[in-house]
A and B are shown apart, each in its own frame.
Chain A
Amino acid sequence: MTAYPGTGPVIHDPMTLPSDDNINNYTFCVELKGSEWFLQKGKMIAYYGSMEFNGIGHGRLDRLVRTSFHSPLHASDWVVASGSGKMLLADRAFDVNSYDLEEGNLTIRSGNLLAFQPSLALKQSIVPGFLTLIGTGKFVAASNGPVVFMEPPIRVDPQALVGWADCPSPCHHYDHGYMTGLMGGLRALTGVGGTSGEEHQFEFVGAGTVLLQSSETLMAEQATGATPHEPGVPGGGGVPGGHGPQSGSPRLPGQLGDLQRRFGL
């Protein structure tokens, strides 16, 4: 709205609001015409028309949920918007963008995903804290700062990672110096001293696209529920509640639990 100095703010009404497009960098407008969208709780800021917001457990939505929602652990964070009208979505004044998937798959940090069309299927990624969208359709995601698209092979900072598409899951990468020498040993033991905070990265290989945000501010992690306690499930046995993606990584020898993570290792 500040793009037109002197002319005053742009005033929107239902006729001038875009359909399934951004109003500005921070606000996205979804048009519902008797259709449905999944959206994360509390991300709707305003709407015109008549709409209903129902929890995933709502009986009438059973069929829809069966075909497009496969993440029971996130069910309490999601609602289905149905009706007709135009709805504005936003999230803590973060940048909001929509993406189109065509017969594709994309994995995204669960806190960053705001809304998606039911033509996409939402599944839980085996990387804890991440969700995978499969199919064709549009989804809306938030990021702190604009999203940058990169191609593997690439190593990225864990805090800057938003998601990835069409490429195999990332692995952890620790810089070699972290493990060697007396100082390295000490660091590994205590997690303090002489660290640059960049020794730990996620490594992507193969073909695909990696989405990064241009900041290291994480979206508040959504309560993602616990991964089932099953042998062979990464993050299984984790504590319920918000957890970074690293919670699934195996403990290195001498790693002092989460203390080390706080020091940026």
Chain B
Amino acid sequence: MFRLQGSKVLAVDMTGDAVKAKNGSMVAYDGQMDFKKTSGGGEGIRGMVTRRLTGEQMTLMEVKGHGTCWFADRASEINLVQLQGDKLYVESSNLLATDGGLRTGTEFTGMRGASQGNGLFTTTIEGHGQAAIMSDGPAVVLRVSSQYPLTVDPGAYVAHQGNLRQSFQSGVTFRTFMGEGGGEAFQIRFEGDGLVYVQPSERNTIGGEV
């Protein structure tokens, strides 16, 4: 059972079940806990190799026991995500913890990943349960539906879930090269049905420079 204590600490109450959490993110625990390093997040050899190849490395530990365990990472804001059989796409660097029963994987993102300065691959989480993701400043959750598509700055994108199509938009024109660009040269457009998490801060991206 995940709950937030304040906005920067995640408390997990466990009764013999397990959670996967970012390596070294435990700040305190109460009760009996077992910490086990998992190679490749329990994705097996194939998952490990994929992560190594794609640069979407993620060192997770498995925490199992009875009691309460608290997690935090560099005072980042933590956001809880409830998954009901749908898929969450998140950068491995923004993932703090997931329920032990959730499946993690790696997926190709193409130009969107490149424009975020995050590499070409992203992490997926699938199943039923909870996950905790981190953001620089509290994330705003935006719903995308068929009549309301959403456009997001790649630098502010944190995660998305649901059945979304994303397309990459480029506003680069000859003006960009004349120093008169719109400042929002790269955008990701989400269409379909789902949720998008954006943070009130922008990573440094190629798009931010033009």
Binding site for A on B (CB under 8 A): 3-4, 6-7, 77, 79-82, 136-143, 145, 148-153, 155-156, 171, 175, 178-184, 195-196, 198-202, 208
Contact = CB atoms under 8 A, between A and B. Distances in A.
A9 B143 contact: no
Instruction: Give 3 nearest A-B pairs by CB, closest first.
Output: A41-B183, A93-B137, A90-B200
Given A27-B140, A44-B153, A46-B156, A13 B148 contact: yes
Residue of B151, B155, B183, B195 contacting most chain A CB atoms (<10 Å): B183
Contacts of B152: 45-46
Interface string A21-41: 001101100000000000011
Given A1-B140, A9-B80, A44 B184 contact: yes
Contacts of A13: 142-143, 145, 148
A96 B137 CA distance: 12
B198 A45 contact: yes
Contacts of A14: 148
B80 to A, nearest CB: 7
Contacts of A56: 180
Contacts of B151: 46-48, 51
Given A14-B148, A42-B208, A46-B142, A9 B182 contact: no
A158 to B, nearest CB: 25
A96 B180 CA distance: 26
Interface string A55-67: 1111000000000
A53 interface: yes
Contacts of B142: 11-13, 46, 48, 88
Contact of A26 (B137, B141, B148, B171): B137
B129 to A, nearest CB: 13
B150 to A, nearest CB: 6
B180 A10 contact: no
Contacts of B136: 92-93
A42 B139 contact: no
Given A24-B138, A53-B171, A11 B195 contact: yes
B200 A46 contact: no
9 contacts: A9-B141, A14-B148, A24-B138, A26-B201, A42-B184, A45-B140, A45-B198, A54-B182, A55-B179
Contacts of B80: 8-9
Given A44-B184, A55-B179, A93-B201, 19 more contacts: A1-B138, A2-B138, A9-B81, A12-B141, A13-B142, A13-B148, A14-B148, A42-B153, A42-B202, A45-B199, A48-B148, A48-B149, A55-B175, A57-B175, A76-B180, A90-B156, A92-B136, A93-B77, A93-B136
A253 interface: no
B200 A93 contact: yes
A61 B6 CA distance: 46
Nearest to A89: B200
A53 B183 contact: yes
Contacts of A12: 140-143
Nearest to B171: A53
Contacts of B153: 42, 44-46
A6 B3 contact: yes
Interface string A89-108: 01111001000000000000
A42 B150 CA distance: 17
A13 B202 CA distance: 21
A45 B183 contact: no
